[in-house]
Structure formats: structure tokens, C-alpha cells
């Protein structure tokens, strides 16, 4: 049918206000048959509100919602229910009816007033139940189902409604990772094979990226991005919308992007996670990704971190930049110059302790070691163990000698990142005076 080219759902400049608060502002989106569109955004961004407004459960203050060309608010309830099916995150379980009876409820809009279900209805219910692999278990009571089973049965109820448009509000809520994948795989298959259009609210971006043909991102009731997962997902968007630092990576198997959240930016550490010395300042010598675990961890533990010297565009330099820590940076492919060396010395002077990551060392960053060796003894220094293979020392042994010199002059080798945190806590008792809290 040529209808497949036209949009099944077209939302145009939709605005919804609740008691003075604007829940949706000028949101536009469209979705075609065969497509799974993920609606994503932080909590309270308006995902559920948008689905409810499309279903017609909320009257919008402006804009229009069209399903297969028909204006939803003008449709009668039954007409709406024949075009749009909606599954909320959670439904009350009143009586313990059977799965079969529950899924049969989806046929209501297709029944004449006061009529009972006919053969076509029974066939639709059976198809829906087979689709979610529940036909054989149709006489079980819904109150006995687990969360994952309940989600599948709810999907069957919505499928039995046989609408061109499916609205699913967090169909993976309360599910473990296996059931999350299972649920979305089914929705994707249904959309593609039955040429239906599924609009799914999902707060999990990786699930959205994995299964959605297109992603629509809402933030504070506005549509801030829309497109394929590749087009939409970017570290900038994540920083803007969710306020998180995340690495965007590519799944080599699916060829799809996925995200690895790092930690919240410009946000104070959570209460209770902060150590007794929130102001204790730790300088980290890293580079080449050797600080990838250490630097964010120290920041999360409540230490004020500085980094350097590192080269611009080095992954540790980018990490430091995202975290907003003080850094001494040098231009790429250049040896550490005197001004950067002075900057490093200033950072060392300002810190309470130094931690050296297993940093691959060449002529470009050898000066880190020599400056630290010349300055040793004035602050506690922890050295993380260097890998035996591959070699980290590209200076013909100069860096190794400087490291041994540091160990002789009081630096300590500490086993891992956890040990570093413990070591710092033990080493910096008196810095508690820097915090506003009285020392214990």
C-alpha cells in the first residue's frame, strides 16, 4: 500500500500545560509504519506526557496529533482505540483474570456495543498471544505472572487491539537486562513484520540506540534532537540533556553506537560518598589513557584533582577537560616546554599528594618524571605499578631510572586504584582542617 510512505503518526507543534507548568512545548515528530521510534529524555522530560497526548488521554493546549491523517482529538474514543493502542508503564492488577481474558480486553474497540467477541476477535487474540509466546499458557492468572511476563502479556493486549500505531511507555521498566532485550526485540520484529508503527518511551539510551530506527530526544518538554541513533547520539547531547560525560563507542557487531556514561559533570559529589577531606587536592601524572580509571574515581571520591603535564588531544587530557580539573597541557608531539613545566610545578606545589598512573613515557613527557624526582619528598607520592608487557618506557631506560630514584626517595608503590584511594585517605589525615567540617 502506498500508505506506508505517508507518516502513520504526525505530531505537529504539540503543547501541553499542566497547572501552569509546560509539560510539552512545540513538539513535532512523525513516525512511519514498520518503524520503531524511541522517545527518550531524562526523567520528567515529557515522554509519558507525549504518549498520553497522542493517545488522547490529555487534551493539548496547542498543536495537532494526526494518526493516518485523522486528527486524534476529533475522533471518538472507539475510533481512537482502533487506531492507537497504549500500554502504560504499570497497570493495576485488580482481579486475577486469566491471560486470555486480559488480552481479550484489547478487542473492546472492535466489538459492536453490547456484543460479545466473535471468531475474528478470538483469532486476533490468539495471534497476539502467539506473538509473545503465551498462547500455551493463556489460562494462567495474570496476578501470578512475573514482571517480565506481565510486560509481554501487556504487549499482547496492545497487539490484539490491531492498531496501526502502538504507544509503549517504558516497556522495559522493572525488567532485567535479558528481558529488556527480549521485549524490545519483539517490539522491533512486530513493527517490521506487521508494518506497524511503534513509538516507545525508553530512558535507556543504549536500548534506544540498539533497537530504534529513529530516536527523538525530549528535554524539559522540548524536542532537542531527532534522527537515526548515529545522527542523534553525541557526547555533546548527553552533556546538554542528561548532564553526564559519556563516551560514544561503536558496537563492532551491530555497527550501532552505544554509550558509556562516565560521571556527572559540574555536580558536587553525592552526600555520603565524600571522604572526610573533601578539599584534599591530588595531582595525577597520567597520559595515554593511563588515568582513565584513576582520574574520575578520585574526582568521585571527593578529591580535588589536577592533571599534568599531558598533551592536548591525549585521551587523559580530554577526560580532564570534561571533568573540569586543573591541568598543565602541552601541544601535541612536543616535549614539555619550560612554561608547562612551571605550570606543573605550581600544580605540584598546590597539591597534598601525587599519584603517578602507569603512564607510557617517551621523550615528550619524560620531563614529568624528572620534575617529580627533583621535587620528591615534599609531598607523599604513590606510584601505580607499571606493566611488564608492553614496555612503557620509550626513553631507553631514563624513565625507569627516574622511577627507581623516586621509590628510593620515599615514593610508594600502590597496587591499584582502590588502594590509591585508601592510601590517600591514610596519608592525608591533617588535611581535614581544610574542610569546613571539624576533624573527628
Partner 1 sequence: MNAPPGEPVPREEAAPPRRWGPLPLRVLVPAIVVGLFALLVGSTALGSVPIPAATTISIFFHQLTGGFVPSVACPGSVASHQCAIWTEIVWQARVPSLVLALAAGAALAISGGSLQGIFRNPLADPFLLGLSSGAALGAAAIFVLDVDPAHQAALLPLAAFLGGIIPGAVIYLAATLSRRGPTVLILSGVALSTFFSAILSAMLLYNPSSDVSLNFWLLGSLGATSWSDDGLVVGVTLVLGTVLYLRAREINLLQLGPEVAQSLGVRPQRTIQWTVLLTTAITATAVAFTGIIGFVGLIAPHLVRRLAGVDYRIVLPLGALMGGIVLLVAWDVAVAAIPPIVIPVGIPTAFIGAPFLIYLLYRRRAPGGSALDA
Binding site for partner 1 (CB under 8 A): 52, 55-57, 77-78, 80-81, 84-86, 88, 90-92, 94-98, 100-101, 105-106, 108-109, 111, 113-114, 116, 119-120, 122-127, 138-141, 161-162
Output 197 or 209, the one with its CB closest to partner 1: 197
The CB-of-144 to partner 1 minimum distance in angstroms stands at 9
Where do the DSSP E strands lie in 315-437? 326-330, 353-356, 381-383, 412-413
Residues 84, 40: Cα–Cα separation, whole Å: 20
Question: Is the CB of residue 342 less than 8 Å from the CB of residue 375?
Answer: no
Task: Please tell me the number of Cα atoms within 13 Å of 407 on its side-chain side.
Answer: 12
The CB-of-193 to partner 1 minimum distance in angstroms stands at 12
Residues 194, 357: Cα–Cα separation, whole Å: 54
> Which neighbouring-strand residues pair with 38?
200, 215
The CB-of-95 to partner 1 minimum distance in angstroms stands at 4
Please give the torsion angle defined by the CA atoms of residues 399, 402, 403 and 407, in that order, rounded to the nearest 10 degrees: 170
The CB-of-269 to partner 1 minimum distance in angstroms stands at 36
Output 96 or 409, the one with its CB closest to partner 1: 96
The CB-of-139 to partner 1 minimum distance in angstroms stands at 5
Q: What is the DSSP string of 151-191?
A: HHHHHHHHHHT--SEEEEE-TTTT--HHHHHHHHHHHHHHH
The CB-of-124 to partner 1 minimum distance in angstroms stands at 7
Output 8 or 431, the one with its CB closest to partner 1: 8
Give every CB contact of residue 342 below 8 A, 6+ residues apart in sequence.
Answer: none
Residues 158, 171: Cα–Cα separation, whole Å: 12
Residues 293, 357: Cα–Cα separation, whole Å: 10
Output 166 or 348, the one with its CB closest to partner 1: 166
Output 97 or 335, the one with its CB closest to partner 1: 97
The CB-of-120 to partner 1 minimum distance in angstroms stands at 4
Residues 198, 218: Cα–Cα separation, whole Å: 17
DSSP state of 74: G
The CB-of-208 to partner 1 minimum distance in angstroms stands at 23
Does residue 390 have a cis peptide bond before it, meaning omega lies within 30 degrees of 0?
Answer: yes
The CB-of-105 to partner 1 minimum distance in angstroms stands at 6
At 205, phi and psi to the nearest 5? -65, -35
Output 194 or 419, the one with its CB closest to partner 1: 194
At 320, phi and psi to the nearest 5? -60, -40
Nearest alpha-carbon partner for 152 in 140, 296, 163, 164: 140
The CB-of-62 to partner 1 minimum distance in angstroms stands at 22
Q: What is the DSSP string of 36-51?
A: EEEEE-STTSSHHHHH
Number of neighbours of residue 223 by Cβ within 10 angstroms? 22
Amino acid at each position: 500500500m502506498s500508505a506506508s510512505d505517508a507518516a502513520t503518526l504526525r505530531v505537529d507543534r504539540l503543547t501541553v500545560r499542566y497547572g501552569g507548568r509546560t509539560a510539552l512545548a512545540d513538539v513535532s515528530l512523525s513516525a512511519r509504519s514498520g518503524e520503531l521510534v524511541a522517545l527518550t529524555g531524562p526523567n520528567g522530560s515529557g515522554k509519558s506526557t507525549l504518549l498520553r497526548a497522542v493517545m488522547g488521554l490529555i487534551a493539548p493546549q496547542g498543536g495537532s496529533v494526526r494518526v493516518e491523517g485523522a486528527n486524534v482529538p476529533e475522533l471518538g474514543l472507539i475510533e481512537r482505540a482502533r487506531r492507537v493502542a497504549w500500554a502504560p508503564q504499570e497497570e493495576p492488577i485488580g482481579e486475577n483474570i486469566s491471560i486470555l481474558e486480559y488480552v481479550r480486553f484489547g478487542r473492546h474497540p472492535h466489538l459492536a456495543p453490547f456484543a460479545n467477541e466473535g471468531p475474528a476477535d478470538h483469532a486476533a487474540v490468539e495471534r497476539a498471544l502467539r506473538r509473545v509466546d503465551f498462547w500455551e499458557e493463556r489460562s494462567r492468572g495474570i496476578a501470578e505472572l512475573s514482571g517480565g511476563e506481565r510486560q509481554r502479556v501487556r504487549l499482547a493486549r496492545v497487539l490484539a487491539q490491531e492498531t496501526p500505531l502502538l504507544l509503549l511507555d517504558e516497556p522495559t521498566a522493572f525488567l532485567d537486562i535479558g528481558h529488556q532485550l527480549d521485549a524490545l526485540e519483539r517490539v522491533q520484529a512486530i513493527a517490521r513484520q506487521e508494518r506497524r508503527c511503534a513509538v516507545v518511551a525508553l530512558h535507556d539510551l543504549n536500548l534506544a540506540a540498539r533497537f530504534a530506527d529513529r530516536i527523538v530526544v525530549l528535554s524539559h518538554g522540548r524536542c532537542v534532537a531527532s534522527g537515526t541513533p548515529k545522527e542523534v547520539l553525541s557526547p555533546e547531547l548527553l552533556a546538554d540533556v542528561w548532564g553526564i560525560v559519556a563516551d560514544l563507542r561503536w558496537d563492532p557487531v551491530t555497527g550501532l553506537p552505544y554509550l558509556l556514561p562516565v560521571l556527572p559533570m559540574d555536580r558536587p559529589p553525592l552526600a555520603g560518598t565524600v571522604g572526610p577531606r573533601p578539599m584534599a587536592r591530588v595531582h595525577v601524572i597520567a597520559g595515554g589513557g593511563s588515568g582513565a580509571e584513576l582520574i574520575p574515581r578520585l574526582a568521585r571520591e571527593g578529591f580535588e584533582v589536577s592533571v599534568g603535564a599531558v598533551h592536548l588531544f591525549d585521551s587523559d587530557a580530554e577526560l580532564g577537560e570534561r571533568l573540569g580539573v586543573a591541568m598543565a597541557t602541552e601541544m601535541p608531539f612536543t616535549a614539555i616546554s619550560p612554561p608547562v613545566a612551571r605550570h606543573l610545578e605550581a600544580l605540584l606545589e598546590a597539591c597534598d599528594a601525587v599519584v603517578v598512573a602507569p603512564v607510557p613515557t617517551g621523550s615528550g613527557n619524560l620531563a614529568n618524571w624528572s620534575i617529580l624526582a627533583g621535587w620528591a619528598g615534599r609531598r607523599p607520592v604513590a606510584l601505580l605499578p607499571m606493566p611488564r608487557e608492553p614496555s612503557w618506557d620509550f626513553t631507553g631506560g631514563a624513565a625507569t631510572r627516574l622511577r627507581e630514584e623516586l621509590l628510593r626517595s620515599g615514593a610508594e608503590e600502590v597496587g591499584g586504584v582502590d588502594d590509591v584511594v585508601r592510601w590517600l585517605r591514610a596519608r592525608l589525615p591533617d588535611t581535614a582542617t581544610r574542610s569546613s567540617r571539624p576533624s573527628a
